[in-house]
Chains A and B, each alone.
Chain A
């Protein structure tokens, strides 16, 4: 209970009517249009949607890499002005510094915060130990497998004790087996640190397995199409994927996202087909598939 009270204060993300547009006047592309959502402190929230729907743009706005064209992004009530170590970021591509050993990578955020060498070293070794990577602390990233690199990426993001973790399809580049293991590891780490997570994915099973709650986004320009609670109990285990509840959620999400994917593809097809598109709506594509 004490723990719950403590975390009740920090790590709340509020996105209010967020708009992001790219490009210059005359050729504006609206990536994200009027999105409002929130992540409660300690909550695991996923955003699912068809590819190109602006999920990553949304996350980059929270990370501070992208300036909103309208609306606000708040962290614990304060507006986000730029990137910072209060939000740990895990990227889709491998983003470890290739010239630093695994441990130096993990220490990086602490070094930037001005922590002295001994404190950095012991903090990094503790975290690497938790992630089962202590034996590799002196390896270079190029010597690690994809799954290990991404685990180091997560540990590095956690090292500065951020209140929230932002993850942009972090397991997208991994094979299916590694992916499942990584999801379990992530769940364990998240429960241990009790921080808020905003997780971007296009993998429906992944989003159900990990999240407390998830948002479905529409095709570009991205809006929120649905908000879904995941009532599955914790701790989650891979066997749950066979439960009736899981299958029901998966079915529901599949149809929601399928609609949007078809819309997105319909748009692309229309552009590609020029004027001959009258028959090609979602129905027409369904027939093609």
Chain B
């Protein structure tokens, strides 16, 4: 082991830090967990091995992330610091901080809102609209994407009209949506749906048509029919691209939802924020914005988490290349 250490650049041993021996082990361990456990008998070195990769991973993760974490904290502190100074001294240089609420007031207001049932009702309603609109967009976007990507005839039939509708921002649909749908609620869900539908659709189509044709040939030579091909090969093959679409779609869904709530809303966090402006409750505006940010972040995180769960093969691939 010592001779190997000498051969490695000093930087590497430093970076992986805490545990020299483990850090020097090759990244790809060719012995799978199953066999490791079965060869336990006697040899103490062998029996402790399953734990070593965990410890190695933890220490590596810690070292790699502590700097990242500190830098992230620093940028947030700087931002809040600037906000505090700008509002405390009412900076006025073309941009005016005169009526902008101060961080402390916003924090106090947030604490008091945390006790009000109406505030949670607004959040819950917005989330419900996202779940409905984005959910329907996910189902329809993937379904249409798979069919349009797979069958040239359907592609020729549907793609042109979808291409024409696609550049129209969801918010531009608000007047028509209000006329089209019987309730305000359904028209807001419709706007949310429209915002996320196209990114999901387009990315699914792309995922299907960029698929390696050899995999389809392989599946067919193994006896796969059209339906099995769709479910077992084309859908999973398009998943990475679909998840790109879902991540983008979730972002656009929030943009569309907030805009729709501000224009046509009854309740919802976007409505809450706009209402605060109308009622000159400026602290509430900022609380609304922060809540929108946190909810959006959480939704995007949920998508990423789901991607990692549904595509374990994809993360191993990324880790290597």
Contact = CB atoms under 8 A, between A and B. Distances in A.
A93 B34 CA distance: 30
Contact of A89 (B35, B221, B237, B312): B221
B237 A63 contact: no
A97 B233 CA distance: 8
A100 B232 CA distance: 10
A108 interface: yes
Contacts, number: 83
Interface stretch (B150-158, B174-182, B313-321): B313-321
B32 interface: yes
Interface residues of A, number: 33
B20 to A, nearest CB: 26
Contacts of A139: 32
Contact of A138 (B34, B218, B223, B236): B34
Given A91-B214, A97-B233, A135-B35, A143 B28 contact: yes
B76 interface: no
B31 interface: yes
Contacts of A120: none
B285 interface: no
A142 B316 contact: yes
A193 interface: no
Contacts of B314: 99
B108 to A, nearest CB: 50
A71 interface: no
Contact of B223 (A65, A85, A142): A85
Interface string A161-193: 000000000000000000000000000000000
Contact of A85 (B215, B222, B316): B222
A140 B317 contact: yes
A98 B315 CA distance: 11
Contact of B236 (A82, A88, A97): A97
B289 interface: no
Q: What class of interface size applies to chain B in its complex with A?
A: 20 to 34
B317 A84 contact: no
Nearest to A88: B221
Contacts of B221: 63-65, 83-85, 87-89, 157
Contacts of B313: 98-100, 140, 142
Interface string B102-144: 0000000000000000000000000000000000000000000
A112 B228 contact: yes
A95 B317 contact: no
Contacts of B239: 99
B80 to A, nearest CB: 43
Contact of B31 (A82, A89, A109, A135): A135
B220 interface: yes
A197 B76 CA distance: 66
Residue of B221, B224, B314 with most chain A CB atoms under a 10 A cut-off = B221
A109 B222 contact: yes
A136 interface: yes
Given A135-B31, A138-B32, A142-B320, A95 B215 contact: yes
Given A97-B236, A108-B232, A156-B222, A83 B217 contact: yes
Sorted from nearest, which 3 A-B pairs have the closest CB atoms? Answer: A85-B223, A109-B222, A89-B221
18 contacts: A87-B221, A89-B218, A96-B218, A97-B219, A97-B232, A99-B239, A99-B311, A99-B314, A109-B223, A112-B223, A135-B32, A135-B34, A135-B35, A138-B32, A140-B317, A156-B222, A157-B222, A160-B223
Given A108-B232, A140-B313, 5 more contacts: A65-B220, A84-B223, A85-B222, A108-B222, A157-B221
